[in-house]
Structure 1
Amino acid sequence: MLVPSFYPEARDCLKNLSELHCGSCISSEIFYQLSQLCQNILLLDINHDSHSGTLDGLAHLISVQRNLKHFILIQYFNNLNKNITSLITKLPNTLIKLNLCKYNRVLSLLFITKFLNLQELEFEIRNSFIDFDKLSYVIFPHLQILNFKISRPNSKSLTRFLENNGRNLKEFCTYETDNTINLAISKFCINLRKLSVGFISNELEMLETFGIVLKSCNYLKSIKIYHRGKFLKEVWRVIVKHSLENISEVILHHYNCKISADFLQKELVSYFTSWGSREPLTLLSLVIICNHCKKCLDENEENMKVIKECIKLVGVIKNYNIIKFVVYSEGWARKN
């Protein structure tokens, strides 16, 4: 990274810096120097790691921002909360997007209450929604996107949050739903355009209330469902039966399943014929994601040939894609 005092020619460039992606382990002196020039950052992405020392310089850089719009905090360890407060208390109330990834489980989320201009709020944290019950009473009048990427708050608190903020939501995601959450979505989030939900347990029972969601959300265009493969038939039946004509994209994300191309070959014609009987007919974009699956649909050329012929025969699929998640030594990746 260029340091202004050492590289004077960088001043003009840094003065107009709009995005900064950095680690918290960078020397505070560098952040202090950057704060003299970089006061119009729009997006700040911080990776807080175990090598971080004092965060005074980074906190100062945040404090001088005039128009910060998007703040991302990624934290991997549970023992690094001692200096985080010095950062979040400096955030300006100009924020419209806030992303908390693998966030420290012992830090209260009440600091979010000051950002009443939020349009997008995303959590990628695991069972660490400290004080979310209190946060659920706060009204964010501009909130349009709410995503829970790993876990979610308890049903009571989340229901209250949706009651207060669901009317303006255009996008909502939770990896695990239940009957209470489904009914809350159907009642308070009727203007959704994009919905992602997960059926982790008692899927058949929850599919009934999910049908109510599909009937209530008249503007839905995209549905993403996380589920286990053995419930694919029931999931598709509910989608075809209850979703309205605006639906143009369905994403099915399988976890730890044994779904095979043989199964789909027998079911695809039935699925797509049912979709084709809908009036008015909407051509469908279909995405199938295999995560930790023992057999992925794209691994056998003959199977894929049959699936493509089936799609062509019925004529209701605008486009489709099969995505397989694979594990490498350094982490997750996906193969299209």
Structure 2
Amino acid sequence: MPDFSPVDYAVPGFVALVLIEMIWARFRRREAYEARDTLVSLAFGLGSTVSGLLTGGFFFLLFLWTWQFRLFDIGWAWWAWALCFVLDDLKYYWVHRAGHRIRWMWAAHVNHHSSQHYNLSTALRQTWTNPLTFGFLFALPLVLLGFHPVMIAICGGFNLIYQFWIHTEAIDRMPRWFEAVMNTPSHHRVHHATNPRYLDRNYAGVFIVWDKMFGTFESESDEEKIRYGIIKQLGSFNLLWAVFHEWIGIVQDMWRAPWGSKLGYLLREPGWTHDGSRETSDMIRARWLAGREEASLAEIPVANQNPIAGQGEPA
């Protein structure tokens, strides 16, 4: 493993910032923290650290073995570090997006979204089962390009550190130029929301420009209060249920499904069912958009509506 792990050095800072935010919440927003929820988040963080220690060495050795097949010798120049950081963040965008769109990967990532509170302790709510999802495969192209696995690991660590501070309601919005390029608390609150307008939006790690490039960006609205958590809330502070509930759900759905549909419950998006009995995020969002369009149309005077032209077309 790399001799230098930036996350290890950042842990005291994480703890200090959580304590500072708790004091802020005590006077400004008491509902931001709930003791049992925070304890579950801390237990998630501890378990994730143990899981990483048990499996990280294997993946690092795999990356080192893959590196012998690299196309280029990129080296350790300053520009290589900068390029690696940007490309690693692009990789993060896609692995994060896959984590929301493939139920097998969502079973691990859902842990991070399972809290109905949004604070710095939520950032510590990391999965124990990520090695089961093979998300590490998304990093192999960087290794094959010629970035050393140590460089990738260190850049990934700094990426993770950056994402810690955006899990807060204590910061409203950053300057406009910063919001345009970087991921911020405002952008990431959208990502953790269950409101239909916000579902599966803002996957960015550090640079929000990826969401703008690939059509998944949504800005935070001042008109609608954000609701945090997941579509079907846990309803429990049981740690083991929080960790494994989606894996259990996958097994149950696959067991009951007809043979031709079993893999769909593993590889399709969360909420997909062979009989349409549940809704995906796309279906929920589409229903919400249709409702908005109907409401908007209902406000147009009848004399100004064109029954022949398509919606939004001039008469």
TM-score normalised by length of structure 2: 0.22
Tell me which protein shows more helix as a share of its residues.
2
Tell me which protein shows more strand as a share of its residues.
1
Q: For CA contacts below 8 A with separation 6 or more, give which structure has more relative contact order.
A: 2
